[in-house]
Amino acid sequence: MEITPEIKAYHDSLSPVEHKIATFLYQEICRHLPEAEKKVWHRHPVWFLDGNPIVGYSPRKNGMNLMFWSGQSFDEPGLQKEGKFKAAEIRYADVADIDINDLQRWLEKGKEIQWDYKNIVKRKGVLQKLK
């Protein structure tokens, strides 16, 4: 699976541990969301379906952060609330911390359960459920 030049440049800027986690996440996300548009958005890789952000990752002090924009609606105990909208996240200190079954399930839920972040500015911060 070929990596986009902008995401490759992003990965190349990471520490070796972060790079390993990011590469694994990139491959899994691409495999489970082949129809998604992927790009660096707000300085980190994000996957979009119909212009709506679904999932992305970025390094934090205590590990690689994997965020699902609609993750609070997944009803998954492994994901923690992030921010004031519907996002949820998990952090990974090592690639061995990634539970592939959880990741695959969350990616499937990301396709099925979506809040309309694409139009949040137009709606003055009000989110509406898409699916």
Question: pTM surpassing 0.85?
Answer: yes
DSSP labels for 22-63?
Answer: HHHHHHHHHHH-TTSEEEEETTEEEEEETTEEEEEEEEETTE
CA distance 19 to 40: 15
CA distance 29 to 23: 10
pLDDT of residue 119: 62
For residue range 51-110, what is the model confidence (pLDDT) as tens digits? Answer: 999 999 999 999 999 999 999 999 999 999 998 889 999 999 999 999 999 999 999 999
CA distance 124 to 122: 5
CA distance 47 to 107: 11
Q: What is the CATH T-level fold of the domain 5-112, as seen in this structure?
A: Aspartate Aminotransferase, domain 1 (3.90.1150)
Tell me the HSE value of 121 on the side-chain side, using a 13 A CA sphere: 2
